[in-house]
Amino acid sequence: MRDSVERSKTRRSGRYASLRFLVVGVVLAGSLYTLIYYPYPPVSLPAEALTRYLEFNAAATASIVSLVEDGVRARGTVVWGRFPLRVVLDCAALDAIAVFAAAVLAFPAPWRKTLTGVVLGASLLVILNLGRLVTLYFAGRADRELFDLLHEEVFQLVLVAAAVGAFARWTVWVQRREDRACATS
């Protein structure tokens, strides 16, 4: 009788933990999305910050592409070359980063590991996104239909899958460290 009560308590607390993680994650993701995609006035600090980030992406893409193609440079948020490419907010992987960060922040873990997870995961997604932009440039140069397919479907899915995979890997790392800490305590 006592065992079944204990098991029922464990199941209830597990269910609450899952629900809490989900609710907090969704609220955080929604908040981050609102921060990123809110229609700010053009001359405002958030709008300027986002524009600078897009310009960084364009400049980094142009730098990488110019290693193999001469005359490619970035002006503002546009990569000018044989296939002009404008980097807009949808191309900056900020949505995937927001989802990843929300999941990590909602997961119960020590704050140091949470901070490490957010920084490393966001950096990984930024690097992946640069790879996406470079690939899109060359795809656009080669074949417009290939560009459309990669741009609208493949890379969006790849980034979301990368965010999910990075979160899963981070949770494994957190749990392993905690298990090791328990074993040595």
Partner 1 sequence: MRRVRPGWSARVAVFVLLFAAVAWPRPSWRVAFSEAFCRVANVMTRGVEIGNGGRFEFQAASDTSVARSVGENVTSDARLVLTAAHVKGQMVLGINTRRDAFLPLAIFVALIVASPLTAWRKVATVLAGGLALHVSAVVGYVALARWTFAGLPQPIYRPDAWVRQALDIVFHVVLLPPANRFVVPVLVAALLVWPQIRRHGHRGTAPHRAEC
With beta carbons less than 8 A apart as the criterion, state whether 40 and 34 touch. no
Q: Measured between alpha carbons, how far is 173 from 120 in angstroms, rounded to an integer?
A: 13
Nearest CA to 111 among 37, 26, 174, 39?
174
DSSP label of 44: S
Q: Cβ closer to partner 1: 68 or 111?
A: 111
Kindly state whether residue 11 participates in binding partner 1, applying the rule CB under 8 A. yes
Kindly state whether residue 179 participates in binding partner 1, applying the rule CB under 8 A. yes
Residues in contact with partner 1, shown as a per-residue x/- string from 148 to 177 under the rule CB under 8 A: xx-xxx--xx-xx---x---x--xx--x--
Q: Measured between alpha carbons, how far is 129 from 134 in angstroms, rounded to an integer?
A: 9
Q: Measured between alpha carbons, how far is 87 from 51 in angstroms, rounded to an integer?
A: 10
Nearest CA to 69 among 51, 55, 81, 57?
81
Residues in contact with partner 1, shown as a per-residue x/- string from 16 to 55 under the rule CB under 8 A: -xx--xx---x---x--xx-xxxx----------------
Minimum CB separation from partner 1 for residue 143, in Å? 13
Binding residues for partner 1, rule: CB under 8 A, are 11, 14-15, 17-18, 21-22, 26, 30, 33-34, 36-39, 88-90, 95-96, 99, 107-109, 148-149, 151-153, 156-157, 159-160, 164, 168, 171-172, 175, 178-179, 181-182, 185
